[in-house]
Structure 1
Amino acid sequence: MTPLEAISMKATSVVSTKGGVGKSTTAANLGAFCADAGLKTLLIDLDPVQPSLSSYYELPEVAQGGIYDLLAANITDPARIISRTIIPNLDVVISNDQNNQLNNLLLQAP
């Protein structure tokens, strides 16, 4: 058994094409609930229009990169893209799309 086969991981997406319906709030609350239940939780902010997920939590350790660096530059080092929150077991990959290119990257992704 390889190390990756030993890892049990679940993914949940909170999506809607309409803005202002509570996607970030739902994801933030769901993430905090899972972390509070003892599950190691990673929130990824992929909202290209209003990336606000990282503003829900105090981030004592902010990574120098985020989701843009992962998708555009293939930076996969967790220390460079994952920011720590003050909540145990809860981390965030922030949306750091300064030039509004995230939409194009997502559309061109394989």
Structure 2
Amino acid sequence: MTNTGVVNVVAVFHPLDGHRDAVVAALEVAIPLVHDEPGCELYVITEADDGRLVMIEKWRSVAELDAHGSSPAVVALVAALDGHLAQPVEVTRLIPLPMGDPAKGEL
């Protein structure tokens, strides 16, 4: 399926034992910079009970998300995360399928 419109992303970070604070600190620097990028409508970090950090994103277009992938904020974040993750970040792009109440059925 080809999509050029709104795209959501889930990115999962697995900090090494004892490295959670370093990962959170790197995200804390990057997030405000990403919020200012064209097309960023949502860029939120959450934490799971098992220690995974889960980023939930919403981008106005695929092109703007693609540009985000090589933005200075992301380049700096990747460098700051070096040596702090147990595995590569798991990134999944999702095409919205809005249903029901628009205020509750879509990001």
With normalisation by structure 1, the TM-score equals 0.31
With normalisation by structure 2, the TM-score equals 0.31
Which protein has the bigger helix share? 1
Which protein has the bigger strand share? 2
Q: Which has the higher contact order (CA 8 A, sep 6+)?
A: 2
